[in-house]
A and B are shown apart, each in its own frame.
Chain A
Amino acid sequence: MIPVIIGMTIVVFLLLHLSPGDPVDLIAGPRATPETIENIKINLGLDKPLIVQYFKFLINLFKGDLGTSILQQRPVTTIIKEALPVTIELGLASIIVSFFIALPLGIMAAVHRNTWKDYASMSGALVAMSLPTFWLGLMLIYFFAYKYRWFPVSGYGTWKHLVLPLIAISLTGIAINARMIRSSMLEVIRQDYIRTARSKGLPEKVVIRGHALKNALIPVVTMLGLRIGWIIGGSVITEIIFARPGVGRLMVNAIYARDYPVVQGAMVVLTASIIIGNMIADILYLILDPRIKY
């Protein structure tokens, strides 16, 4: 785990320090003299060898210092702290909503396997999975924010601002989760202990809820960890379409503006949240699976 994290910081660092574009020129402007450029380089520490720069970056990381934004002349950490709650709000809401919609859908499809309920919901899921998030976002805005003024077009603040982005980003997740839950349940239902439970005379509902479900959820929970990564990636586009001032939008705007410290800081934060998400999923897995003893 630790080497992977270190590897990730190296990748993030290299991506932005080996880039062909030169941020120094941007700061210096077109009429700068060679001396000015040298000074800026020394100020930003860009004149030292790459390894030294990397270790400075790492040390600052531990201190919580992500550098200073070239554009806004403010500490990157502050800027990101302002944007983070917005992203987390959407991400968390998406995970919760997807789970609570996908669960009954997947169970129903598994229990009523090969009936119209199964085919209809799984076909629907397949189609929903194919719709690109940004297209969905735009269509939702056109119909529900413009044609019918039920929701605001963009922005951040009230629960109403959350609905459309939530639908856009969660639809795919619901589809994928529903399919996963269905196949997981199908595997579990075939097991011998389910047969035993049924032959004991337990009502079907109890068999499903008490025995099958708990075990079927184990791989789904592991998926949750991976989902966090996906949601964070998807939230970048969603934040831009709905003009939500989150970390993803911050990062892309920084890319347009060549504000490299912000891009780097945003990458670090987003990557860190994914690592944390995966760790939580691992821990949940340990707790939920009684076969694994620590």
Chain B
Amino acid sequence: MSKNKLDNLVENTEEKKMSRFRNFCKYLFKNKAALIGLSIILFLLLCAIFAPLITPYEYDAQELENMLQPPSKDHVFGTDEFGRDIYTRVIYGTRVSLQIGLIAVGISLIIGVVLGAIAGYYGGIMDHVISGVTDVAWAFPTTLLAIAIIASLGPSLVNVMISVALVYWSGYARLVRGEFLSLKEQEFVEAARALGFSDLRIIFRHILPNAIAPAIVLTTLSIPKAIIVESSLSFLGLGAQPPTPSWGSIMNSGREYLIEAPWIALFPGLMIALIVLGFNLFGDSLRDTLDPRLRD
């Protein structure tokens, strides 16, 4: 008898979770901006994955007799100073940007969330130490810190990933710590403790799922910033090294040949704008959906 009741209870909770999620999706996708943003992101993701299939050339194939050609039938976006097809390089550039966006921000999310959770949950000395470090990291402006870290580590795409991860973790840490500070006082935590659950389990299985929503919004808004940081660093020659086609590094050569071949700088920049727009649109709608106050 009691087993049935317990089963019913569990089923109800699972159902409730599914319908909450469904409601959330319904509301989110009624919003045109969210749909447009998501489509842009998915489109660029597909470009990155299927790059070899949709590009007619190799990204490092040089045709020196065709250098600095304006857009034409053979080369939709024109060619650069080595005769490389810019359209191909721009499409492969999607891979670089999305790698930075997803991997680097992913790492910073993990670091930040774990540190924020520990600081918020345990309080005391741990909180003091972690918050101290977080505050210092948070105080630096992102581009400047990224440049300084690259200056220290040396120019390479991997170092850019490390740099981005080190720049953005403090945002997550602050956010999650704040959420934990308020959530840990609630009754469900007391109940979980009374049931004898370990701290680790409480943190990750009970409190964290409730604290994750703002972190997700932060992620959709951090990815475009990370992409811009990587482009800026590559633009300065401090990021992706030749021949890797990062949008930023393509624009670096675009800068050298701006007068003779403005198309080199034009197209990668538009792609950056597009991906940033996509994430901003989606992130904005996500934030508005999750924050009931802002629903005008």
A residues contacting B by CB (< 8 A) are: 3-4, 7-8, 10-12, 15-16, 18-21, 113-114, 126-127, 129-132, 134-136, 138-139, 141-142, 146, 183, 186, 229-230, 232-234, 236-237, 240-241, 251-252, 255-256, 263, 267, 270-271, 274-275, 278
Contact = CB atoms under 8 A, between A and B. Distances in A.
Nearest to B279: A130
A11 B136 contact: yes
Contact of B132 (A7, A15, A256): A7
Interface in B31-81: none
A130 B280 contact: yes
A90 B147 CA distance: 20
B147 A251 contact: yes
A135 B150 CA distance: 22
23 contacts: A4-B132, A12-B148, A15-B151, A132-B232, A132-B272, A136-B269, A138-B258, A138-B265, A146-B258, A229-B140, A229-B144, A230-B141, A232-B141, A237-B232, A237-B235, A240-B236, A252-B147, A255-B150, A270-B141, A271-B139, A271-B140, A271-B144, A274-B140
B158 interface: no
Contacts of B296: 113-114, 186
Contact of B238 (A10, A15, A241, A255): A255
Contacts of B265: 135, 138-139, 142
A127 B277 contact: yes
Given A10-B136, A21-B154, 19 more contacts: A4-B139, A8-B136, A15-B149, A20-B154, A129-B276, A129-B280, A130-B224, A130-B280, A135-B265, A135-B270, A135-B272, A141-B258, A186-B296, A229-B141, A232-B144, A234-B143, A251-B147, A263-B151, A271-B140
A240 B248 CA distance: 14
Given A130-B276, A135-B269, A237 B281 contact: no
Contacts of B273: 127, 130-132, 135
A4 B141 contact: no
A255 to B, nearest CB: 4
Nearest to A260: B151
B141 A19 contact: no
A259 to B, nearest CB: 10
A243 to B, nearest CB: 11
Contacts of A131: 269, 273
Contact of A4 (B136, B143, B232): B136
A19 B153 contact: yes
A70 B60 CA distance: 37
B91 interface: no
B251 interface: yes
Contacts of A234: 143
B255 interface: yes
A2 to B, nearest CB: 12
Interface in B68-105: none
A132 B284 CA distance: 18
A199 to B, nearest CB: 22
Given A16-B152, A114-B296, A237-B232, A8 B281 contact: no
A263 B294 CA distance: 43
A127 B276 CA distance: 9
Contact of A138 (B137, B142, B269): B269
B14 interface: no
